[in-house]
Amino acid sequence: QSALTQPPSASGSPGQSVTISCTGTSSDVGLYNFVSWYQQYPGKAPKLMIYDVTKRPSGVPDRFSGSKSGNTASLIVSGLQAEDEADYYCSSFAGGNTIVFGGGTKLTVL
Amino acid sequence: QVQLQESGPGLLRPSETLSLICDVSGYSIGTAYQWSWIRQSPGRGLEWIGSVYRNTLIYYNPSLKSRVTISADASKNQFSLNLRYVTAADTAVYFCARTEWNPDFWGQGILVTVTS
C-alpha cells in the first residue's frame, strides 16, 4: 500500500485557476471512484472538500471541483482567493477496506 | 451534526503502548459507517491506521497491523486505538474520523509525542 503522489507545492494569483494532481495505481485511484480531497490549515483537522471524485459537501464553494482520468485524480480550484492558501490532501479507497492518502500539496496564493 | 473528540496521554516513552479514545456524538457508531484512526507526522503526511465497522469488523493498515488494535464500545458510543511498542517514529497528531469510502467528519486531533 503506497502513498498517492501529489506535487509538494502549487501556486496561483487571485482569480486564477489551479489544478492539483493525485496519482495512484490501478488498484486504488484507477479502480474506484472513491477519491476525496481535503483542505487543511496549520494546526487544524482536515476538512472534506470533494468526495467520490466529483461531489461537493454542503457548504463547500463551487470554485472547488474534482475530476479523474485513469490513475490520476485532480482538484481544480477556480477563482483563487487568499483564503484558499492551505495544504491539500487526496485520499482513495484502496480495496480490502483500506484507505491511502497522498503526501499533500501546499497551495500558495501569490 | 457528527462530532468526534480524541483523548488520551500526550507523552509516551519508547516501548510503551499508545492508548487513545474517540468519543462520538450526533451519530450512533453501531448504526453504519466505518470509524477510523488516522495519524499525521511532519515527515510522513497523513497515514490511515485502521477502521472499525459495526463494532466488530476491523481493518488495519498492513504496515501497522502487527502493533495495532482497534475496538469499539457501542454502549459508550466510542472507539479506541492501541498501538504497542511505540518509537519516536510514532510521534504524530492522531485523528479519529467517520468514514464511508473515505473520511468525512474528523476530530480535532491529539498530539502524541514519544520521547525518552
| Digit-coded pLDDT (tens) for A48-104 | 999 999 999 999 999 999 999 999 999 999 999 999 999 999 999 998 889 999 999
Q: What is the average pLDDT across A8-13?
A: 96
Contact across the interface for A45 and B108, Cβ inside 8 Å:
yes
Whether the predicted pLDDT of B45 surpasses 90: no
Cβ contact B108:B35 at 8 Å: no
Q: How many CA atoms lie less than 13 Å away from B44 in the CB half-sphere?
A: 16
Contact across the interface for B59 and A36, Cβ inside 8 Å:
no
Q: How high is the pLDDT of residue A14?
A: 97
The single residue listed with the C-alpha cell 503506497 is A2
Q: What is the average pLDDT across B58-69?
A: 95
How far, in Å, CA of B30 to CA of A108, rounded?
A: 41
How far, in Å, CA of A39 to CA of A64, rounded?
A: 11
A64 touches chain B (CB under 8 A): no
B104 touches chain A (CB under 8 A): yes
A93 touches chain B (CB under 8 A): yes
Q: How high is the pLDDT of residue B43?
A: 65
pLDDT tens by residue, B24-38:
999 999 998 999 999
**Band of the pLDDT at B42, cuts 50, 70, 90?**
confident
**Band of the pLDDT at B54, cuts 50, 70, 90?**
confident
Contact across the interface for A96 and B45, Cβ inside 8 Å:
no
Q: What's chain B's length in residues?
A: 116
Q: How high is the pLDDT of residue A2?
A: 75
Whether the predicted pLDDT of A44 surpasses 70: yes
Q: Which of A44, A45, A24 is nearest to A92 (CA)?
A: A24
**Band of the pLDDT at B86, cuts 50, 70, 90?**
very high
Cβ contact B48:A99 at 8 Å: yes
How far, in Å, CA of B105 to CA of B83, rounded?
A: 23
Residue A31, helix vs strand vs coil: coil
**Band of the pLDDT at B55, cuts 50, 70, 90?**
confident
pLDDT top residue among A73 and B1: A73
A83 touches chain B (CB under 8 A): no
